[in-house]
Structure 1
């Protein structure tokens, strides 16, 4: 399977909710992915107590994404911090134009422009090899807000995993867009 599909699926998962015991265990077993994210994260998972890591990750996630600022495009880009609904939301309109259906009743996420859902959309269009949709969504949405958002959030991260994940995500998005420009 396409590595990009797997990376977008992973990013969708880690930005959507706290990591449960199973997710932390699976991550600890994936040294290749941890090495990609960063040396400090890899060492932390390799030598740390998984129960303590799970607790610290969940505290970090909750503090950053639930208590401070949710990873929602319209919250970040609009000073009113309002989540637009339906096709009023430019992200939802982009999904609709590209055949991506989302049932917000099946998720605890409150907005279609939540980072986890946006990465899920990218996973879908990469899987379907829809290059123009990938380029357009990166250009019109993800690159406009995710890079500055994660740069700002990095100073709030207390775990090596989230600090390095933010850097990894930024580098991945920029590199992915650059590669797509050559297609």
Structure 2
């Protein structure tokens, strides 16, 4: 990877993928999201886990169910909101604090740290989505935003800024997302009743590792002066 066109293509594709993943966890799946997944082309690139996850999601959506939207909404509520579960039953609450704090509580140190990172880049939580800042949706959307900024810096040929953004992306993946999302995804796979959310968990975990490898390669290229 050595020219601006390659960098811009990679950056916008990464941004779109992070935004797609964020949407999976923001709210329940609607007809628009379902349609976009059904229409995904056959995946030939990516790890076996990533490809398997995409296939599981599509397979769930293309079956003979009469009300898949309701079925997915019930599964979403059960897995991510703990609906209908006793306190002793496993849920996959989508917050970094829950997975990294000793007592598995909300609004802990992890939330403060990600908020500080967001603000460093001039960002804050949208008031339209009333969740703590370490919700997986916000963390994935933050990565999408950094990838958009990388795209813009490449268009302007601001290579020093590109390198700075890439280093920030790597830091956020390693210091935040990979600290808890793989464990979260394992819990989702255990709990989810539908292949859709089991597949989403596989795709999410696999993509984070894939993206880290891409980010490291881009950093190496930038450091070498391309």
Which shifted more, 23-32 or 150-159? 23-32
TM-score computed with the length of structure 1 as normaliser: 0.86
Q: Where do 5+ consecutive residues of structure 2 fail to align? A: 1-8, 44-49, 83-90, 151-164, 220-226
After TM superposition, list the pairs within 5 Å mapping 1:13-52 onto structure 2.
13-32=23-42, 36=51, 37-49=53-65, 51-52=66-67
Question: C-alpha separation between the residues in 1 aligned to 2:98 and 2:36?
Answer: 32
Question: C-alpha separation between the residues in 2 aligned to 1:101 and 1:175?
Answer: 27
Question: C-alpha separation between the residues in 2 aligned to 1:72 and 1:30?
Answer: 28
Higher percent of residues as helix: 1
Number of equivalenced pairs: 178
Cα distance, 1:92 vs structure 2: 0.1
Question: C-alpha separation between the residues in 2 aligned to 1:23 and 1:82?
Answer: 28
Is 1:170–2:191 an aligned residue pair? no
Match of 1:146 in 2: 181
Match of 1:92 in 2: 115
Question: C-alpha separation between the residues in 1 aligned to 2:106 and 2:209?
Answer: 27
Quick check: which has more Rg, 1 or 2?
2
Give the superposed CA RMSD: 2.3
TM-score computed with the length of structure 2 as normaliser: 0.71
Match of 2:167 in 1: 132
Is 1:121–2:136 an aligned residue pair? no
Which string of whole-angstrom CA distances, capped at 9 and with x for unpartnered residues, describes residues 80-122 of structure 1? Answer: 303149x97101011112222323x2213x2000000100100
Q: Where do 5+ consecutive residues of structure 1 fail to align? A: none
